[in-house]
Amino acid sequence: KVDAVTNAPISDVEFLVTDSDGNLIGNANGKYVTDSAGAFTITDVAPGTTLIIKETRAKAGYILDDTPQTVKVKSNEIVTVEFRNAPKGNLIIVKQDSVTKEPLEGVQFKIAYADGSYVDAEGGTLSSTGLYWTDKEGKITISGISGTVVVTEIETIPGYTIDENTRTQTVVVNPNDTQTLYFYNTPVGGLQIIKSDKDSGKRISGVKFEIRKMNGEIIGTYTTDANGVIRIPNAKAGWYTITERKAANGYRLDAMTPTQACVKDGETTTVEITNQRMCSIMIHKTDANTGKGLYGVKFVIYDSGKNPIMEVETDQDGYAYVRDELAPSKYFIRELEAANGYIRDEQYKTVYVEAGKCTQIEWENSAVTGQIQVRKYA
């Protein structure tokens, strides 16, 4: 028994041997199986006997050749009969994104023969009830099949739609043949929002956005995930307004500058919105002589145009804090009210703050002091 293409011997092929009258030859059941050399031998056959040899079971991956051969045994001579098997074919199913041609993993297919029977794996040795799923490369590979095969896409993955025109495809797989079928899924038109740090590019989680249609209809409120992303795969084609409603810790809410986005059919629109990390200021107010912190000193903080934006007051240790509330810029600070017993410093201090950093300011006050006048008389 040999491979019809390579002539390599084929083991584990079963045959039934009878004489011309239908009597079983040799073994009790008349069955023989080829060994590693692809052969078996029948001995002690009477000369002149006509043998009928029929293949009853092919090796996995080969097509059964059930056409019997007839041979007449001669005296003192070994008669050799050769059977050839054609290897079965292979079927490869490829699933891709119709836009990017990226492979799609996890798409389910049903694979059956034209008569409705299932196509199972490994030449039928592994049952799959005809259901298969694409791997990481977006492929399903089945070896050892032949005949007319019907492939139907059953279920795709989230974010994609099945093309009804190519949902079912039929192909003929011939012996020693490899057929490849391509299936494409169209991405659902959707909206993806990415929130990131303006300076570092790091994604920001926990940012809440409100999504509206251009007519004012609210689609919903969404929050960025651990990767700083919001995905809305069911967003229909049209224009949308994206407004930030809650910022992440350390960032200023940007609710005054909404972003416009246009979603098209079959495409995912991605919008990246950046935030600049806020800045901090720490003022330490101390006694000019002792260095001790002064409680209750009030300050006014002005923007670069000297417009007042907030007031702060020192605590019991002489510290006043502005935590993650200022955008990177130039600011002015003026002492509004000194601590009891101290002289107010009326000068403006200029401060430059950087994103994500805390600027520290040491500021001294001198205590109010009295005078003693001594007069000496005779």
pLDDT along the chain (378 residues), means of 10: 88 93 82 93 88 90 86 89 88 87 91 88 61 92 87 90 89 88 84 88 92 92 90 85 91 83 83 88 93 94 92 94 86 92 90 87 88 92
* Residue 44: per-residue pLDDT: 83
Q: How far out from the chain centre does Cα 378 lie?
A: 101
| Token pair for 89 | 């074919």
For residues 259 and 256, give the distance between their C-alpha atoms in angstroms, rounded to a whole number.
10
DSSP symbol at 119: -
For residues 222 and 245, give the distance between their C-alpha atoms in angstroms, rounded to a whole number.
10
What is the gyration radius of the CA atoms in the chain, in angstroms?
43
Are 56 and 31 in contact, with CB atoms under 8 Å apart? yes
Where are the strands (E) in 20-146, listed by range? Answer: 31-33, 50-57, 69-72, 84-85, 89-97, 108-113, 131-133, 139-145
Are 294 and 285 in contact, with CB atoms under 8 Å apart? yes
Contacts of 370 (CB under 8 A, 6+ apart): none
DSSP codes, 173-223: E-TT-EEEEEEEEEEPPEEEEEEEETTT--B--S-EEEEEETTS-EEEEEE
* Residue 128: per-residue pLDDT: 67
pTM score of the predicted model: 0.43
Reference 287, options 276, 295, 279, 278; nearest CA is 295
